[in-house]
A and B are shown apart, each in its own frame.
Chain A
């Protein structure tokens, strides 16, 4: 039995499916409570129903984009684990980065040929360790943190929560991460066969370029052609374009 047969086996589906089911149950409990409380404080039933129906319509397309992310990760981590991570806690851009970094610490990568059962279970643990902090912070400090905002009026609260350096700092960290990986692809191509030998693997550079150009096209369509609905697909389809370029190069090599 190969490692991917194990990762796609029924018991793994049951473990991942049970957690997804539990989280779905939490959502149902919160919907019922919020709906009842909304009616109790005088909100119109029609308004609450409209929120639910518009959110269903709003979420279908991005969810298909997320499904493409499950497909993208399934070749490295099997199907059930990405299904769990992208249904419950993660997001495509986090999961891939953390999984790769975790595999790197074990001297492996997300390359399917390097995946073993031990690498998978350790990567899975590290992915969980890295990404549970928001839930823990929320469990510990949500109530006391929100109390601090109660004194201000709603407009100042909105301004306070949206402004500041925090968003830029977070974007800067991502820029640092992307720069490190992009630099590593350039370095591998230019110098891995000897300093300035240009004999290293160039496929990752092509993949980066194709993905970036596809993203550029999507951004143009979203902004210039007013196709805002494409936003939910842009990352996943750009990734697929880059991955398709790798397959095409692989066929002709």
Chain B
């Protein structure tokens, strides 16, 4: 059998398995809150979840479309099915696949890249599962400490801590895009502090403004605010 034929058969089968496993994973992920709900004695509030999805889910749908369009060709069939199922795509799977590609000299779009991306992402995911599982076992004795009153302010501010670290990362690279939405949001929340409980919804106008500025800059770079 010719190498091309072998690879095509492998690729077709990858799509069959990838689709099957992807759909099973989606079912598991969507069912898990209900199964856990049985054990903890509280089922999800579907109406509240739907309301929340309309408010915040649409944004993630757009992010998902963009990530799908950008990363699928770079990772190939097997790599992208696995990458989307196993997550941590930008912070780990992409750099890992890139590193493997560089090391072997494989070019994007070739059968070699398909094989190497799949091996890289699957291996990387297994390492994460192993490290996290070992860590979670070790965490068990620390539960009383993690739930102590002293540490409560830390967990109450986990979101602020995340946005602080991401703010530096994104703002330092895209200062000219960040200036306008940041000023708009500060002014808005100072004059309407009651909006704080709907901060996630306010990302729609803030994100829209950021995309508009980015688009204008993309077409004609703004020289004033070079970062």
Per the 8 Å Cβ criterion, residues 137-171 of A in contact with B are 137-139, 141-143, 145-146, 149-150, 152-155, 157-158, 160-162, 165-171
Contact of A129 among B57, B154, B168 (CB under 8 A): B57
The digit string for B116-147, where 1 denotes a CB below 8 A from any CB of A, is 10111011111111111101100110010011
Per the 8 Å Cβ criterion, residues 156-214 of B in contact with A are 156-174, 177-178, 181-182, 184-193, 195-200, 202-211, 213-214
Q: Is the CB of B166 within 8 A of A235?
A: yes
The digit string for B60-86, where 1 denotes a CB below 8 A from any CB of A, is 111111111111111011101110111
Q: Which residues of B contact A200 (CB under 8 A)?
A: 193
Q: Which residues of A contact B114 (CB under 8 A)?
A: 34
A209 within 8 Å of B (CB atoms):
yes
A50 within 8 Å of B (CB atoms):
yes
Contact of B131 among A63, A116, A250 (CB under 8 A): A63
A-B interface pairs (CB < 8 A), number: 630
Known contacts A34-B115, A41-B7; A212/B168 CB under 8 A: yes
From residue B106, how far is it (CB to closest CB) to chain A in Å? 9
From residue B120, how far is it (CB to closest CB) to chain A in Å? 5
Cα separation A6 to B205 with both chains bound (whole Å): 38
Q: Is the CB of A243 within 8 A of B154?
A: yes
Q: Is the CB of A138 within 8 A of B68?
A: yes
Q: Which of B62, B67, B95, B210 has the most CB of A within 10 A?
A: B210
Contact of B206 among A23, A35, A121, A177 (CB under 8 A): A177
Known contacts A55-B127, A62-B92, A126-B57; A165/B30 CB under 8 A: no
From residue B165, how far is it (CB to closest CB) to chain A in Å? 4
Contact of B64 among A65, A133, A168 (CB under 8 A): A133
Contact of A138 among B49, B80, B213 (CB under 8 A): B80
From residue B101, how far is it (CB to closest CB) to chain A in Å? 9
Known contacts A188-B189, A219-B172; A133/B72 CB under 8 A: no
Q: Is the CB of B171 within 8 A of A135?
A: no
Known contacts A129-B53, A138-B81; A172/B60 CB under 8 A: no
Q: Is the CB of B86 within 8 A of A70?
A: no
From residue B86, how far is it (CB to closest CB) to chain A in Å? 6
Kindly state the interface size class of chain A when it binds its partner.
35 or more
Q: Which residues of B contact A181 (CB under 8 A)?
A: 159-160, 163, 199
Q: Which residues of B contact A133 (CB under 8 A)?
A: 60-61, 64-65
Cα separation A21 to B32 with both chains bound (whole Å): 14
Q: Is the CB of A178 within 8 A of B166?
A: yes
Cα separation A55 to B92 with both chains bound (whole Å): 10
Contact of A51 among B21, B119, B162 (CB under 8 A): B119
Q: Is the CB of B136 within 8 A of A112?
A: no
Q: Across the interface, name the chain A residue whose C-beta is closest to B91.
A: A91
Cα separation A114 to B68 with both chains bound (whole Å): 35
Q: Is the CB of A207 within 8 A of B164?
A: yes
Q: Which residues of B contact A80 (CB under 8 A)?
A: 136
Q: Which residues of A contact B222 (CB under 8 A)?
A: none
Q: Which residues of B contact A183 (CB under 8 A)?
A: 182, 184-189, 199, 202, 206
Known contacts A128-B33, A174-B170; A54/B103 CB under 8 A: yes
What are 12 of the A-B contact pairs (CB < 8 Å)? A23-B125, A30-B118, A40-B10, A60-B131, A94-B60, A117-B42, A122-B52, A135-B22, A138-B80, A166-B69, A172-B207, A191-B190
